[in-house]
Structure 1
Amino acid sequence: MGSTAQPLAVPQPRAIAPLPTRRAPRPSNVTLKFTMALTGTVFALFVLVHMIGNLKVYTGAANFDDYAHWLRTLAEPLLPYEGALWIFRIVLLAGLVAHVGASAILVVRARRARGRFRRTGMNWRRLPATLMPWTGVVLLVFIVLHILDLTTGTRPIAPQSFEPATETTSHAFANLVASFERWPMALFYIVVMVMLGLHLVHGLWSLVTDFGVSGRRLRQVWAAVALIFAAVVMLGNITIPVAVLAGWVS
């Protein structure tokens, strides 16, 4: 009696469950970096123009006070007194919120991605980049104190002799000199300007990457521009408290 061969059972392939997909974070890192680059450009131009205006202190009290008064009456009568100044302040405040917010999100994401590992072998060229979050915090504190000192005249930050501006007069020169005659405030300003220089040199250098520039030659030229720009703003501002303490501006 012959036997019939049974067909071999062919195992069926098991269904493979699709790997879970992780949704891309919102806003994206590209968007955050572009936001920082754009607002950083605005702030870099602002500190340059602000430094140039501050250097008018060397032209004497009358010229410096006239410049401060002109800022408050700019675009009158189209705008009310201090109207243009408040527009600038609102734009800068919005940019500051966007800049700080984007920076904080990127720092948190970078630390989560890095985990417990830390970079080693850092050299001095990486110092501005390493210190960016810390110089940013110092500058944020300085902005608040600077406004309390020379804009609102809030004591004890501002000097006792602070006089607020009116619609007809400005006392910007006397207020500035009185503030920097206090050596702790002058020293604090100098230290912050060094922090600003470090923040600027790396921030401006990062613009070429954030805006998608990849040419080696252009990146080298821009690195030099960033260094010169940061040095000019830093040293230009530092000369003012030094001149006040030395008695050259009084």
Structure 2
Amino acid sequence: MAISSAVQGVSTAKRQRFLRSTVVLHAAAAVTGLVMVLYLLAHMYGNYKVFSGQVAFDGYSHYLRTMGEPLLPRTGALWIIRVVLLASVLIHMYAVIALWRRMRKATAGKGGRRYQSRKNPRGVQRTYSSFTMRWGGIIIFLFVIYHILHLTVNAIAPGGASESPYERVVNGFSIWWVVATYVIAMLALGFHLRHGFWSALASLGANTSPARRRLFNQTATVLAVVITVGFLIPPVAILFRGVGS
């Protein structure tokens, strides 16, 4: 009995060490990041319903709450998506914060220093997107809270309150500072995606050759631009009276 308990204790300890290992944390950050990218692409597509008018946009919002019926209860599928997304966000945040703390501890708070080159004689090899990953993540997190309170919970109403999702979107994005905050958040998202997507593929072992690294580097840039610009088109169109005027 004592031997069995000891063996189980050793197995549990090994399992915990494995789950907290740097490899697993990198993989967790990568997989959850890719889940959020898929959500962003679907969300971006849905945003373009605003160009079809109030009936189409409100109908789309209503469909999100009824999809899966009668197999699932009302809003059942939507809550599954929300739970998966929330779990992905929390796991992603935990993984990246844990990795950042380990890096700071390993370098005595000085950050990573890499090989020297003519462009970087001090040995610091970082792109602007990788340099802004941490602060960009904070900006995105704060914006998501505001965005949910505005367009999902309907707790705040810049431009005027309404029970219509279409009117909430149009009323809000008719105000210049609302669009300005949206632009800042989307630029932060773009930089975050640019470095994060490439890093995710590297963490999952996909960058196995120079050709693949170039391909994934280009793919990360295209993805970041598509999502950033794709999310910005509706609010800018609303602001300049292209929609809802």
TM-score, shorter chain, exceeding 0.5: yes
Choose the corresponding residue for 1:28, options 16, 21, 26. 21
Query: Segments of 4+ in structure 1 off by > 2 A?
Result: 116-123, 158-164
Q: Distance in 2 between matches of 1:81 and 1:140?
A: 28
Query: How far did 1:25 drift?
Result: 8.5
Structure with bigger gyration radius: 1
2:158 aligned with 1:159: yes
Q: Deviations over 1:58-89 (max 9, x none)?
A: 12221111111111110112212111111110
Q: Deviations over 1:79-116 (max 9, x none)?
A: 12111111110111111110001111111111111115
> SS state of the match for residue 78, structure 1?
coil
Gaps of 5+ in 1: 1-23, 165-170
Query: Retained in 2: the 8 A contact 1:39–1:96?
Result: yes
CA RMSD, aligned part only? Answer: 1.7
Q: Distance in 1 between matches of 2:64 and 2:124?
A: 44
Gaps of 5+ in 2: 1-16, 114-121
Letter in 2 for 1:80: P
> What pairs up with 1:186-225 in 2 under 5 angstroms?
186-213=179-206, 214-225=208-219
**Residues 60 and 26 (structure 1 numbering): CA distance in 2 closer, same or farther, change over 3 Å?**
closer
Letter in 1 for 2:95: A
Query: Partner of 1:84 in structure 2?
Result: 77
Choose the corresponding residue for 1:65, options 58, 65, 81. 58
Letter in 1 for 2:229: L
Q: Distance in 2 between matches of 1:144 and 1:207?
A: 25
> SS state of the match for residue 204, structure 1?
helix
Letter in 1 for 2:78: L
> What pairs up with 1:91-240 in 2 under 5 angstroms?
91-117=84-110, 119=113, 120=122, 126-155=127-156, 158-159=157-158, 161-164=160-163, 171-213=164-206, 214-240=208-234
Query: How far did 1:208 drift?
Result: 2.3
Q: Deviations over 1:153-185 (max 9, x none)?
A: 113xx2363234xxxxxx211110111112211
TM-score, structure 2 normalization: 0.84
TM-score, structure 1 normalization: 0.82
Q: Distance in 2 between matches of 1:188 and 1:86?
A: 27
Q: Distance in 2 between matches of 1:217 and 1:59?
A: 42
Query: Retained in 1: the 8 A contact 2:28–2:92?
Result: yes
2:53 aligned with 1:53: no
Letter in 2 for 1:239: I
Q: Distance in 1 between matches of 2:47 and 2:155?
A: 21
> SS state of the match for residue 115, structure 1?
coil
Q: Distance in 1 between matches of 2:170 and 2:124?
A: 41
The answer to which structure has the higher helix fraction is 2
Letter in 2 for 1:35: A
Query: Retained in 1: the 8 A contact 2:25–2:96?
Result: yes
Query: How far did 1:26 drift?
Result: 6.1
> SS state of the match for residue 79, structure 1?
coil
Query: Partner of 1:15 in structure 2?
Result: none
